[in-house]
Amino acid sequence: MISEKAYIAPGAKIGKNVTIYPFAYIEDDVVIGDDCIIYPYVSIMRGTVMGRGNKVYQNTVLGAEPQDFNHKGEATRLVIGDENIFRENVVVNRATYTDGETRIGNRNFFMEGVHISHDTKVDDYVTFGYGTKVAGDCEVHSAVIFSSGVIVNSNVRIGGASMVTGGVRISKDVPPFIVATDNPVRYAGVNESLLKSSGTSEKVINHIANAYRLVFHGQTSVFDAINQVKEQVPAGKETTAIVKFLESTKLGIISKL
């Protein structure tokens, strides 16, 4: 069902079995995949490409012009995967430059008032709590959970299967599989509840905990801690992910304090 009271520009491409409610606004150069639901007062701006099965609730704006002084009005992109839920008043900006891209993966849940800024990359199965704000050029890896009111500064990376508690402000990288809490933000242990619910064995969880004991509770630099992890913690995909994340940090990681 597509309401006659919705505005759909002639250049927009709408897939099969799409529901668009009255007063939705869809610009040219927009692609909406099959089985999407667009609720009233949603705005989908040019440059947005959306996969199948997404739900977009009232007053959300997808593909908003980037809030970046370097943007000069050129055509840029927001690419969205499948089966995401964007609740009310969510804003996702498209990229700043034509060779960039804001990207949202699959099956993510954006609660009310979330803002994802230009050129940020979100992987799959991420939950963004109420009012969480993510600045430009960030990376959010799969299965991250943000509680309400989190603020993530630009260029920060959030490692997969981590959790950030409510109201935290983040300006450095959050490694995978951990809990980040407090202000100033600090390491608060391994995210055991999520790891266990996803079927991770107790043995592997212990390996992760041992790796982070070396990183956060040792008396060495992160560089030396990485070498210790390689030498002392049994190899596995989780250990490899930790080492790779730490080796590629540019901002440094959150504190143990």
Question: 17 pLDDT exceeds 90?
Answer: yes
Is pLDDT at 25 greater than 90 in this prediction? yes
Number of other CB atoms surrounding residue 32 within 10 Å: 25
Let me know: does 103 contact 79? Beta carbons within 8 Å. Answer: yes
pLDDT at residue 256 in the model: 82
Q: Give the H/E segment covering residue 209.
A: helix 202-217
The residues facing 164 across adjacent strands are 146, 180
- pLDDT digit string (tens) for 51-86? 999 999 999 999 999 999 999 999 999 999 999 999
* Tokens 């100033």, located at residue: 184
Alpha-carbon span 104 to 53, nearest angstrom: 14
Band of pLDDT at residue 219, cut at 50, 70 and 90: confident
Q: Give the residue among 3, 4, 40 at the shortest CA–CA distance from 23.
A: 40
C-alpha closest to that of 57 among 44, 72, 75? 44
Unique residue bearing structure tokens 């592997």? 204
Indicate the pTM of the whole model. Answer: 0.96
pLDDT of the residue at 257: 66
Tokens of 89: 């008043």
DSSP reduced 3-state for 175? coil
The 10s digit of each residue's pLDDT in 195-214 is 999 999 999 999 999 999 99
The count of residues in the chain is: 257
Residues 6+ apart with CB under 8 A from 180: 162, 163, 164, 165, 168, 170, 174, 186, 187, 188, 254
Mean pLDDT score of the chain: 97
